[in-house]
Amino acid sequence: MSNPKINIEDLFNLPGAVIYNPDSFKPTSSVSTDTRNITEGSIFIALKGKKFDAHNFIRTAVDKGAVAVLINKNKLKDFDDIDCTIVTVDDTTLAYGQLAAEWRKKLKAKVIAITGSNGKTTTKEILAQILSNKNSVQKTLANNNNHIGVPLTLFSCNNSHKYLILELGTNHFGEIACTAKIAKPDYSLITNIGEGHLEFFKNKNGVAKEKAALFTETIKYGGKVFVNMDDTLLKAKAKKLKNKITFGFEAKTIVKGKLLSISDEGLPLVQVKKGKIEFKAEINLPGTSNAKNFLAAAAILLELGIAPAEIKKCAAKLTPVDKRMNIIKYPSFTLINDTYNANPVSMKSAIEFLNTFDKKLKRIAILGDMFELGDKAVQAHQQLASEIKRNRIDEVYTIGKLMKNLSESIKDKKVVNKYFTGKEKLTGFIAEKDFSNSVVLIKGSRGMKMEELIKAFEGKI
């Protein structure tokens, strides 16, 4: 199957574009923003950010065989001597997204877009792993989920792919609408609405407003949306939506889930029903949060016509996402590496998961700050004390300015509670402490880099 190409007409269609030396342009399937991995015949787009300016690498791109360069118009005088097509625009970052939108129109792959406060990456990975068993799938890699990452992922997709699974992230109003307009999803999912990025969205209603833009844009382009009816705010947003598939564990839905059990290893067994279709699947990802992620993915998979037997078989072989509920078993203790990120909902879920382990084991939580909570930050950390008590956590060790609020809020004298002012001190403590017969959760926001503590445990083997 031949791949689509970007033609000179696509460049002329970019708003405000002026093209110099158009006759030398040759249609191409390659777009690059990084000269370190550019290939001959590519279009090079010179993005400019606060800390970098790719206009400094335009001559390198041309030397490596770029067929065209897309630059800010105020930079033209610096490059009027180069021997390739030059496209000038007002803003190369905007043009990058606009060109990606043109590329999207040429793709034959079905585009699935996912956002949400929690679980979007894991849900994306569940979908990708199950679909790729018999199909060619492209997906968002790393955290390429913003106005730069979404175009990057779109350009990595070609007509060899049957499905493209995009993760859309946001921490400011308007970002989801922007990337959704570029992606024009055939199917879209919002996993849930939580208290993430409250520094920018003020409250959960603000988060819901921002995330719901994905539904609006999907419906606008004739796509289908998947609504988690267990989420009150999403349920309200979806009332007037047409072309929707509902799912959930508690509410009345088209796709209905039931958590049947949790194994000794923390793996959920889930029943899924859709009309006359009914099956049970053991999910090789620990925790009730992953049961929810699986149901969301299953709703999409069933709509795509994937057989229940295929879903069930692949669910049992799912590979965990790095730093997300990774269970590491050492000879004398178990470690839960959930260090990728944290907000109040995911922190609560992780603490609840810690409580599912054998009661003979000591349950220990090592927790770092939750960021971007705005004026709710102090309260959000204080409220974790009730989760610690409710889930009978035996020991809590905290680090970060905000986590001091949790440490001071733990009043239960049965809980061993210690606050550390720096990672060096905490690392030293871990190296000296005996963790035998315990299960240890490590979690915090991305900026806390809590994964650095894992090395201290590795030295205890």
Q: Can you spell out the DSSP letters for 216-285?
A: HHHHHTT-EEEEETTSHHHHHHTTT-SSEEEEESSS--SEEEEEEEE-TTS-EEEEEEETTEEEEEE-SS
Structure tokens at 141: 């890699």
Would you tell me how many other CB atoms lie within 10 Å of the CB of residue 267?
A: 20
Quick one: pLDDT at residue 1? 61
Q: What is the pLDDT of residue 198?
A: 76
Locate tokens 């585009």: which residue? 111
Selection from 100, 140, 137, 147 nearest residue 120 by Cα: 140
- What's at 320, amino acid-wise? P
CB 423 within 8 A of CB 399: yes
Map residue 187 onto helix, strand or coil: strand
Q: Where in the chain is the domain with CATH 3.40.1390.10?
A: 8-90
The DSSP bridge partners found for residue 255 are: 247, 274
pLDDT of residue 332: 95
Q: Nearest-CA neighbor of 424 among 452, 459, 460? A: 452
- What is the rounded distance in angstroms from the CA atom of residue 415 to the CA atom of residue 371? 25
Amino acid sitting at position 179: T
**What's residue 94's pLDDT?**
98
Residues of the chain with CATH 3.40.1190.10: 107-315
Q: Domain 326-458 belongs to what architecture? A: Alpha-Beta Complex (3.90)
Distance CA 321, CA 52 (A): 30
In words, the CATH class of domain 8-90 is alpha beta
pLDDT tens, per residue, the chain with 461 residues: 678 999 999 999 999 999 999 999 999 999 999 999 999 999 999 999 999 999 999 999 999 999 999 999 999 999 989 999 999 999 999 999 999 999 999 999 999 999 999 999 999 999 999 999 999 999 999 999 999 999 999 999 999 999 999 999 998 999 999 999 999 999 999 999 988 777 788 899 999 999 999 999 999 999 999 999 999 999 999 888 999 999 999 989 999 999 999 998 899 999 999 999 999 999 999 999 999 999 999 999 999 999 999 999 999 999 999 999 999 999 999 999 999 999 999 999 999 999 999 999 999 999 999 999 999 999 999 999 999 999 999 999 999 999 999 999 999 999 999 999 999 999 999 999 999 999 999 999 999 999 999 999 987 76
Compute the radius of gyration of the chain from its Cα atoms. Answer: 24
Residue indicated by tokens 């403590």: 429
In whole angstroms, give the CA distance from residue 238 to residue 254: 14
Is residue 248 within 8 A of residue 229, CB to CB? The reply is yes
CA of residue 198 relative to chain centroid, distance: 17
Handedness of CA 94, 96, 99, 105 (dihedral sign): negative
* Residues paired with residue 225 on neighbouring β-strands, in sequence order: 188, 244
CA distance 18 to 347: 50
Residue 2 is predicted with a pLDDT of 77
Q: Which CATH class is domain 107-315?
A: alpha beta
The dihedral built from the CA positions of residue 17, 18, 22 and 25, taken in this order, carries a sign that is negative
Number of H helices, E strands in the chain: 17, 20
d(CA 447, CA 93): 26
Q: Please tell me the predicted confidence (pLDDT) of residue 459.
A: 74
Of 309, 191, 193, the residue nearest 248 (C-alpha): 191
Cβ(206)–Cβ(233) under 8 Å?
A: no
pLDDT for position 164: 99
Report d(CA 88, CA 402) in Å as an integer: 47
288, 352 in Cβ contact below 8 A? yes
Asked whether the beta carbons of 27 and 4 are under 8 A apart, the reply is no
Residues of the chain with CATH 3.90.190.20: 326-458
pLDDT of residue 202: 83
Q: State the pTM of this model.
A: 0.94
